[in-house]
Structure 1
Amino acid sequence: MNPDRAGDVVVVVGARRTTDAADRLLLAATAAWVLGVAPHSVQIERSCPHCGGRDHGRPQVALSFETGTETGTGTGHLTASRPLHVSLSRAGGVVALALTFLGPVGVDVETLAAVSRAGFDAVAFGTAELAALAGVPSADAVAARAQLWTAKEAALKCTGDGLRVDPRDLTVALPGSDGPGNPGLTAWRGSAFPVDALRLRGFEPGAGLVGTVAVLAEDGFAADGPTVRVVPAADIRR
């Protein structure tokens, strides 16, 4: 990977394309940009861990390669010892992509309007989260609600569970009130891994939107990691 593009997690935010296929092409181009390989050598495949379907499920990077005597395809990449993990989310007119070598990743963006629907809190949040929201000033309540929700969605994408898991099984803590911070996963009923193995990081996807990345590091995290670098979609074309 080009060191100028380094970062624990690269997040790319851009205008949503007119079709899902076009958004996946953007993800493939971004993966090629991160890896430093030709765009035509990268494809985005999908695989559902539950039914094995190839028309849905989490996206995966697949590289075509060519040597002097053979051609083929494979997951992962040619420039590092571990695969590039990717995730994609759409909300309003924005698409957000997350890419990292650390381990499975999930990204979620949501509009503030979407989390303001009547009855949303009752199906999205548990007792501890509802209590925390009750203590948030009214001017900040919608943004706090979106932080909690995107954190849950990102975590469920990261593990591949999606909304097969009741989001109320996850408990997310809001960032501290004493300055900038990130939400934290504090409990997950029935989880097969310790919750501190999954880290959440917020990012700014644009006006009226909230974004969160979740990473499950295969070898743990550096102190205060992971770091997130947000890149405009236009930059990957350069």
Structure 2
Amino acid sequence: MAVVIRTTEVSDDPRLRDLLDATELERAGRRPNPLPFVTAHALLRRLVADETGIDPRRLEFERRCATCGTDRHGKPHLSGMRDLHVSVSYGEHMAVAVVTNLGEVGIDVEDLESADFDGFGSVTLDASETPYLADLDGDDLLAARALLWARKEAILKATGHGLVVDPSQVVVSAPDAPAALLEWKAREHPPGPTQVSDVDLGRDDHRAAVAVLTSRPVTVRVQRG
């Protein structure tokens, strides 16, 4: 299996809720706007179902936090399918999901507007990454910021650490260079071989990336919903 990614716009289709289990519906209900969560998790269920032939309503997910060990949060895993790895990400407008058998995986999607804040560099970038953005402004700057953030968060989702690890401790390649993890400076155990790829979403207002913990070659297949 390649790294199979599916993308879609956030939907208010009420039929999507029928695909989710009670835990997912409860989590969705805790959000001021449940539509992105519902869209993303329905998307993940449909993607895994299409790759495995299993009814999307019968899939069972569990969560494990790599930092504290709880099952109340953390990256999702498919119950009873140890060889398949999944990740999901969503924002106000878009959702993305991924499945692969190559290794632990993480995916992230970012709206350019989410990168439009003062102090981005201080909370996100290592000193070696600051020059990446020096000559950029306007939408070019926001696109570069969003791409760097997506690469870093995809890596941290793949490792299972999430934002427990400071993103500035995860050093990635320049926005105009092939995606790569250059250095892991965090005190947490480094992830080992990590393949990072940017994801073409077919739209200008978002950026996305995927990371897989593997030394094997990675082929990414993107499906647009």
**Shorter-chain TM-score category?**
0.7 to 0.9
Residue of structure 1 equivalent to 2:216 = 221
- Which residues in structure 2 correspond to 1:153-232 (within 5 Å)? 153-176=153-176, 182-189=178-185, 190=187, 192-193=189-190, 197-205=193-201, 206-217=203-214, 220-222=215-217, 226-232=218-224
Q: Is the 8 A contact 2:85 2:101 kept in 1?
A: yes
Deviates more, 1:102-111 or 1:127-136: 127-136
Give, in whole Å, the separation in 2 of the partners of 1:43 and 1:27: 12
Aligned residues: 200
- Which residues in structure 2 correspond to 1:75-224 (within 5 Å)? 75-76=81-82, 83-136=83-136, 140-176=140-176, 182-189=178-185, 190=187, 192-193=189-190, 197-205=193-201, 206-217=203-214, 220-222=215-217
Residue of structure 2 equivalent to 1:59 = 76
Ranges in structure 2 where 5+ consecutive residues have no aligned partner: 12-34
Residue of structure 1 equivalent to 2:20 = none
Q: RMSD of the alignment, in Å?
A: 2.1
- Which residues in structure 2 correspond to 1:12-31 (within 5 Å)? 12-17=6-11, 18=35, 20-21=37-38, 23-31=40-48
Structure with the larger strand share: 1
Q: Is the 8 A contact 2:144 2:175 kept in 1?
A: no
Identity %: 34
Amino acid at match of 1:221: R
Give, in whole Å, the separation in 2 of the partners of 1:52 and 1:187: 25
Give, in whole Å, the separation in 1 of the partners of 2:95 and 2:108: 9
Structure 2 length-normalised TM: 0.80
Q: Which has the larger radius of gyration?
A: 1
Give, in whole Å, the separation in 2 of the partners of 1:98 and 1:216: 14
Task: Report the Cα offset of residue 194 of structure 1.
Answer: 6.6
Residue of structure 2 equivalent to 1:236 = none
Residue of structure 2 equivalent to 1:69 = none
Q: Is the 8 A contact 1:58 1:157 kept in 2?
A: yes
Q: Is the 8 A contact 2:65 2:161 kept in 1?
A: no
The C-alpha deviation readout for 1:209-229, integer Å capped at 9, x for no partner, is 000001101xx213xxx1111
